[in-house]
Amino acid sequence: MPTLKTATILGAGAMGSQLGLLCAESGLDVKLWDISNEALDKGNELINTHLDRRVKKGRLTAEKKDDFLSRIEFTLDMKAATENTDYLIEAVIEDLDIKHKVLKEAHEHAPKHAVFGTNTSSTLITDIAAGIPEPERVIGVHFFNPPGTMKLLEVIYGDKTSKETAEITGQMGETLGREVVYCVKDTPGFVTTRLLGAIVNECVWAAEWGEADIIEIDAAVKYRLGMPMGMFELLDLLAGGGISVQYHVGKYLTEKLGDSYRNPPMVDKMFEQGHLGKDSGRGFYVWSDGKTNEVPFKLARNVDPIRFFAPLVNEAAKLVENGFMTKEDLDKAMIMGLGYPRGPLRMADSMGLDKIVEEVNRLRATHAEERYEVSPMLAELVSEGKLGRKTKEGFYSYGPGEFELITLDVDKETKVGTLTINRPQRANALNMDCFAEIAEALHIIEADDDVRCLVLTGVGRNFSAGADISMFASGDLDEMIHFVHPLQDLLTRFETLPKVVIAAINGACLGGGLELAIACDLRVAVEGALLGFAEGNLGLFPGSGGTQRAARLIGLARAKEMIFSAQPIQADKALEWGLVNTLANKSEFGEVVQKTAQAMADKACLAQGIAKRVMYYGEQCDQRTGVFLEGSSFPPVILSEAANEGITSFYYRRKPRF
């Protein structure tokens, strides 16, 4: 396999220029081609503006900026751009004739080993590859915007794409630092665009058919499913007009897949009227006169999001069962490319596949649309009683030790176990499935005589930023009471586990994350970590024992200061207050945690366990009463107007108006 040293970007627009910069930052020499000096100048300006912004923020040195720019050559000459290249990325507009013209000219000059990647988001790779005599050298490389920060690369095979082309593309993805997923069979819209279009259209159809108001649908998607935005919000806020994109993608999918994939009339009408979103002043929402169109949290209670989510899962199942992408890659693609809180197949397992199938069948009976035909894979799973987490098997298996949201590692030699919260894309936010997995991990640790100490930490830059807001969005008071008290019992298990538990606070430790940490026996924090009860900013208060444990740990006055102000404190102040036991700098953090854990593991485990329980129960004359009162008082607060304002403002990054 050739070593990748040079890259050619065909098209110097917004995406092409960013891809050129990404290649240069990754150590490749880049030729950036376009048809006019004006286009090249704009690309050059975009690159310089981006680099200057990073220099100004101190994220890049002037020397590094000059180094990156020295690697990029702008040219109008196709031969000069391609004759010595290792990898070409076509990034021209979504017009098949133009793509054919550009690729054909590039093919005339490119060396035989060069691969042709096409950065399209929906067009069949096979159709694009037909533009050159060697279609086996063409492959889809769907980068996500902005490519410098969006780490996903969706690689799509054409019908004739060779194994070597795919392998070199995988090498290219690795060179660029991307997380690569593979769509190994060509299909319109591939996986990410196809599935995004599916849930967008279902939301629009629901509004079209009068099932709910637009803003209620957005609230359900945003807060109950935990998506970054409601789908109407998304289309309105996409640069250049998401409604235009949805219109054209819908037309293309209808042409290739049939009338069931057509746009709802609402999309066609808005496109024809030029109401393309915020940039045009109007889309699904009116954006004139400074309107912000915030979607209130409380409206999420009005609509069950399974209405939109079940058809998405059904479409995803069809893609997996027909061999377009593995379930693991599909879930990763939706998380990393579209900001999903979890993979849709994992989310379906949590909802219950029987409920998904029931909803799809209801839609099929009501609307007689082909897209509501239940996927054979889904139907078979349900018929076999594989309904998801509740039966320990669905799309995935959930047997003993099979975790999604945590990892559990045991070092038999040191007798130290490590439980790691593994939701980096959500700042390790805690949800009910995460709590259930933590509970199972505690069972495993307690039963394992080879483990004498447990370390609890988080993946990436966060310990845990708190509870996942989607847990509270249904507005069902009984449901919230049902999970608050078991959650409090789970944290009590950390206090009564007959083994020492150390919270290794590797970054932000906020809200429910701090409640979890203070239920541990010891806390080791990295310098610069933030610790705090942020619930007050949302119109809430700690509801999993935080009010009681914090007061006992650092005193009533300090606990009140933290809870009432809702302001986090730095790790050094947390050490001073007694909230953490040990502070370590970043380079020594892992070593300090390991030494602390080893010191605990070297002692008599039986004595430690008994001592823990004696201290816990000896202090419980009134804590259990306090914890019960806290848990009983928390659910009504989440239904308050203050909580609605606090959570809504949090999502829109503004100061709450209580």
Given a cut of 80, whether residue 42 has pLDDT beyond it is yes
DSSP 8-state symbol, 461: T
Cα–Cα distance for residue pair 87/82, rounded to 1 Å: 9
Collapsed DSSP state (helix, strand, coil) of residue 536: helix
Is residue 605 predicted with pLDDT exceeding 80? no
Residue 629 in this model has a pLDDT that exceeds 80:
no
What pLDDT is recorded for position 44?
A: 95
Beta strands 138-143; 152-157: pairing state: antiparallel
Residue 153 sits at φ, ψ, to 5 deg, of -130, 115
CA–CA separation, 95 vs 97, rounded Å?
6
- The active-site residue, picked from 90, 233, 515, 630, is 515
For residue range 370-392, list pLDDT tens digits in order. Answer: 999 999 999 999 999 999 999 99
pLDDT for 121-152, tens place per residue? 889 999 999 999 999 999 999 999 899 899 99
Question: Residue 169 burial (CB < 10 Å; 0-12/13-18/19+)?
Answer: buried
Name the catalytic one among 202, 233, 437, 535.
535
Number of C-beta neighbours around residue 440 at 10 A: 17
Element holding 633 (H helix, E strand):
helix 623-638
DSSP-based three-state secondary structure for 83 = coil
pLDDT over 80 (residue 652): yes
Nearest of 132, 179, 122, 199 to residue 156 by alpha carbon: 122
Dihedral, CA atoms, 334, 340, 343, 348, nearest 10 degrees?
-130
Binned at pLDDT 50, 70 and 90, residue 472 comes out as confident
Dihedral sign computed on CA atoms, order 189, 191, 196, 201: positive
Q: pLDDT higher for 471 or 2? A: 471
Active site residue 404: no
Its pTM stands at 0.91
Q: How wide is the angle at C-alpha 491 spanned by C-alphas 513 and 423, nearest 5°?
A: 40
What confidence tier does 613 reach under pLDDT thresholds 50, 70, 90?
Answer: confident
Average pLDDT over residues 75-88: 96
Q: Is 515 a catalytic residue?
A: yes
Give residue-wise pLDDT tens across range 527-577.
999 999 999 999 998 988 899 999 999 999 999 999 999 999 999 999 999
The per-residue pLDDT for 476 is 78
Rounded mean pLDDT of the chain? 93
471: confidence class by pLDDT, cuts 50, 70, 90 = confident
CB count within 10 Å of CB 260 equals 14
Please list, in sequence order, all residues whose beta carbon lies within 8 angstroms of the beta carbon of residue 317, skipping any fewer than 6 positions away.
Answer: 345, 375, 377, 378, 395
Query: Which residues have a Cβ under 8 Å from the Cβ of 99 and sit 6 or more positions away?
Result: 90, 92, 118, 120, 123, 128, 131
593 pLDDT above the threshold of 90? yes
Helix 546-554 and helix 556-565: axis angle, to 10°?
130
d(CA 308, CA 263): 15
- Per-residue pLDDT, averaged over 398-412, amounts to 95
* Residue with the larger pLDDT of the pair 486 and 218: 218
Q: What pLDDT, in 10s, does the model give residues 14-39?
A: 999 999 999 999 999 999 999 999 99
What are the CA-CA distances from residue 174 to residues 32, 322, 339, 508 (Å)?
21, 27, 21, 29
Asked whether the predicted pLDDT for residue 193 surpasses 90, the reply is yes
Mean pLDDT of 149-159: 96
The model's pLDDT over 266-280, given as tens digits with 9 standing for 90+, comes to 999 999 999 999 999
Q: Residue for token digits 């959930």?
A: 398
pLDDT surpassing 90 at residue 80: yes
Q: pLDDT-based confidence at 625, cuts 50/70/90?
A: confident
* pLDDT for position 74: 97
